[in-house]
Structure 1
Amino acid sequence: MDPLGARSQFVDIQTLPTWQQQLSEETPSDQSDGPPSPHAFPSPFPFRPDINRKLILITGDVALLNCTAIVNTSNESLNDKNPVSDRIHQLAGPELRDELLKLKGCRTGEAKLTKGFNLAARFIIHTVGPKYKSKYRTAAESSLYSCYRNIMQLVAEQSMSSVALCVVTTTKRGYPLEEAAHIALRTVRRFLENHGNSIEAVVFAVPETGEPTYRKLLPLYYPRSGAEEKASLPLIPADIGNSEGEPVVPERQIRIAEKPGVLEDDSEEDSLESDLGQVGTHAFARMEGDVDKERKQILQGQMSEAAMQKQHQRNYKRWLCRARAEDLSDIAALKALYQTGVDMCGRTVMVLVGRNIPVTLIDIEKALLYFIHVMDHITVKEYVMVYFHTLTGEHNHLDSDFLKNLYDIVDAKFKKNLRAFYFVHPTFRSKVSTWFFTTFSVAGVKEKVRYLDNLQQLFTCIRPEQIDIPPFVLEYDARVNGPNIPSQSSGL
């Protein structure tokens, strides 16, 4: 029986505003309803008012919520001392401790069920989050996903109508709050999409310190209007897991496919429990080596070509959405990249002016966004680029790492449809740098580069009237190589 007056502490979740209802408090009413605004690339987490009406975000004590089940975060022995667990034990009473002894612990990533005893909630779901080490981030991600997935699975299996989730990771376990929130929000979202018809309410009960983070990230996974969906799309991380929200680990899938039914050696399991708990016997779960350091090689070497292309396309679309949404007028004002006429074969000519790129002064990421924004529609068909290296200084030279990142990010059409790259007024040093870059850093570009020492060579490929050349380039070329033919310069 509850102590006299104790029940008055508890909060009925039906009295709390849903995530969808909170929109009117934050945005104008004319954006709160209606289908999502049409845009080129649909969000992987589209506007779903039916799901948003099930979701509640509160700041406070999960132990006080009157719902079917609440979540307790603990350690492998289920005797952890943390604010959430201490408060649940205090209100549930000594019977809870006795019940936990019967469970004989809980592995990292698992979820186990007990009665709620003196709580308003009928049940308590106990789970154990991973200890976080950046070197083993991928294993920690998988374990944290398992926590939330197993919690939601129990809710569905037991036909529970509502559940209140605390922040599973504790300060002692060291998981970065924002990274953990991404996993929690996307896992619950995917579960509600695929298996959540019988679930009426999911509450995220977070501490005051975590509330701004959750409020910032919720629109990414639970947009409350078409406008919010569109605004959130560029901010969604590239890695959103599979259709269930689970982190994709290709190496694990490959190993299982190679040796089905063969168990891995588990001799190292005990020594690793102190770091991440028992996360499985598979080699990847045992964290042999720096998995994240090798992840790129694994992806490139083992993923199918189609899967790699799909992942790359999704990443590029996010960059493109960001480019379309951001104010890039300061980069445009540099006049370093622009479209001009066509070459002798009728292909669009794009001009890049090296001296107009103040590398040390501009936001390089915005420059990358501007390049994507300008070039996206140009590259749908064949095109050529003319780069004027004329009178560039050290402060104009783009870093090779930036160029490699740009090459890796852009869509395949950028590379496929580039027919020629005319390098005008190169220096010996720039030729050497370009040779090394195109030989060792990027593939398929070296044979497209053409070094042109003067404008006369350029005019054999592009008529003078079809290209807008900066005055300082014309002056330099006339000084070094002699005056241009009048008929060629008159068109400029």
Structure 2
Amino acid sequence: MSTGLKTTEDMDPLGARSDVIEVEKLTRWNLTQLPEYHETEQRQDGKTVPFPWRNDLNAKIILWGGDITCLNVHAIVHTTNEHLTDQNPQSDLIFEKAGPALQVEVKNSIKVCKTGEAKITKGHNLLARYVIHTVGPRYNIKYLTAAESALFCSYRSTLQLAREYGIRTLGLCCIHTTRRGYPPESGAHIAIRTTRRFLEKYGGSFDTIVFVCAEETLDIYRRILPLYFPRNNKEEDFAIDHLPNDLGNEDGEPVIEERQIRIIDKPTFAALRANHDDLEETIDLNQEFCPSTVLDVGHHPFSHMEENPDNSRHAGVTKNNTEQKKLDSRRRYERFLKRAKSEDLTDIAGLRCLYRTGTDRCGRPVVVFIGKQFIVDAVDPERALLYLVRVMEPVVDKDYVVVYFHTQTTKRNQPPMNYLKMAYNLLDNRYKKNLKYFYIIHPTWWSKLATWFFTTFTASDIKPNVHNLKGVQYLYSKMDPDQIDVPPFVMDYDTQINGPRYHVPPEDSSDGL
């Protein structure tokens, strides 16, 4: 009769763990099954491959989704905040499995880790001998360049620290996190590109680097890895056409060409002369100034009063900064637009929450957004923004109209205010300049308050163009019914609150903010 207890033969060896993942049993990237690629055009002669096929580097890479604390590697990476007190499931699990000694070492030896830095501690009770702690940046579209540079530094510092400590096998988590607002796909490009460039220089320092992904990031890494670690010639050709514009410098660090300083090594006068045709000729001061021994000071340009040079300098700096910000903003949008045109966004399109319809009575194109069909928790916010750009780009060159059905929306349908700010700041100036009307159908008291707050403090440019409409019939006073596709549930709700037939007085056709 069975007692339900394990016998000596059934029991695990003393101290053994059943959840250990041995990297030797995981599939290397060079042996991972390849996707099917469509035949691409033959590569043009002389066209360089930024990241050529290298089987030796691919054999060092593993893509794996799971709990990083279960990996039997020399070191794992822990992404946290500046004081190493981040409260999240992954951090909590690392400290729990490592035991209280890790907390003591962090408190006594590290204390603070700045954004972009990496610090190392012992692994204590973890399978890994070491834990490398690093702090990824907080993402803000206004400071995109700073965020990209800081994220590069986090990955680069982590890899460099691992090399210095002789770590041969490394579990590398996603340092860029949605907790800090970093778009998963943009972060993956920097993570994988930085690792590729590091291995090109110091490949002999590592046996294995495991990209450890959560469920929501695994597909993103699986899609981007072939661009930087191609596994055959077809993948090389595919990568050439799908890599982003910014491939970074020799270390993978993001590059801003306009800010690079070009220095001529020991320039000669002849070289300067050749490069600067407008170099001023030598000036004869005796000829420039009055030859008379009695200098006519009052009439010489030297004596003319000019404005404060500090003010002129400040105005010049302000103008340059403004132009640089516009240039950076335009570059960000063009990079985003390129992705919006190339990526497969059928999952977002299938929600049927954003689409183009007909025109208003003045012939302006109309874009419709259905709030109830946009479920925040179920949608990747970055991909949603990509789809928004794809739909809107063809109409924003001229006047256009947006209709937002707020009908029966709940908290699940309302994106955070920070996300709306980021989206507004990312969009090209044409979106704001050519928006003629933004109609909100079936507004609530709360939506009116939120709209007022947003258009007052963030989107003041479009505030005069935003109007709340009490019902669908008010919208029909702006455009013909056959020009707009209204969902059935919106019409049913409109009938419930306004009655089957209601008259819209011309003076009450809209309710401004």
Q: TM-score, normalised by structure 2?
A: 0.48
Q: TM-score, normalised by structure 1?
A: 0.50
Higher relative contact order (CA 8 A, sep 6+): 1
